[in-house]
Amino acid sequence: MAIILVERPRKASLPLLLLFTGLLLEQLVALSHRSSKFLAKDVPWVVAPAAAILGIITILNMPLRDPALPREDICPAFDTPTVQLRTPEDNLTPWQYMTVSWMEPLIKKGVTRQMEDEDIWDLGWEFKHARLHEAFRKLQGSVTKRIFVANGMDLVRTTVLNVIRLCASKSRI
């Protein structure tokens, strides 16, 4: 909590979220191994997990994107989708992103009728062709090397998830 109070981050911090989650899990394990009953003198044992939960809730409700950035062309979450505005992904909290609740208007529209190009949000800033093309052009080396550098994290994620899936499908319960 001190990090949040001192640094006062304006957007959600994944490392801080992982830190609070780790602290919460560690404290829950420590609490689960207590052999005596819970007494009034044991209240400090509850303060750390409560602070970790409060930190997690705070981070999950912070914006993913810096709030100082302009947002006039971003569709507000839960508004009707339109091609004139960018996807609400550019202006969500981690909680909204994880629950995919911001997709509800698009899903409702898709259930009632066939979707047209005008019914769907424009791409988010990260996925705009011009930005991606310019970032790719700035990379040095051969085309193959640039492709691996540009898509390295996706390759690692896909490989790790497929190895986990393969191991899980071969294991017996």
Give the residue extent of every domain in the chain. 2-60, 65-124, 128-173
pLDDT at 17 over 70: yes
Q: How far is residue 82's CA from residue 122's CA, in Å, rounded to a whole number?
A: 8
> Given this model, what pLDDT does residue 1 score?
63
Tokens of 84: 């004139």
Q: What is the pLDDT of residue 172?
A: 67
User: Taking the complete model, does pTM exceed 0.75, yes or no?
Assistant: no
Look at residue 18 and tell me whether its pLDDT is greater than 80. Answer: yes
Quote the pLDDT of residue 125.
76
- List, for residues 129-157, the tens digit of each pLDDT value: 888 888 888 999 998 888 888 888 888 98
pLDDT of residue 24: 93
- Indicate the average pLDDT of the chain: 86
4 has pLDDT over 70 = no
- Calculate mean pLDDT across residues 105-112: 90
Q: To the nearest 10°, the Cα dihedral for 23, 29, 32, 34?
A: -90
Task: State the pLDDT at residue 111.
Answer: 92
pLDDT tens digits, residue range 54-92? Answer: 989 999 999 888 888 887 888 888 888 888 888 888 888
**3-state SS of 103-131?**
HHHHHHHHHHCCCCHHHCCECCHHHCHHH
User: In sequence order, what DSSP letters do the residues of the chain get, joined into one string?
Assistant: -HHHHHH--SS--HHHHHHHHHHHHHHHHHHHT--SPP-GGGTHHHHHHHHHHHHHHHHHTS-SS-TTS--TTBPPTTSPP-TTSB-GGGG--HHHHHHTGGGHHHHHHHHHS---GGGSPBPPGGG-HHHHHHHHHHS-S-HHHHHHHHHHHHHHHHHHHHHHHHHHHHS--
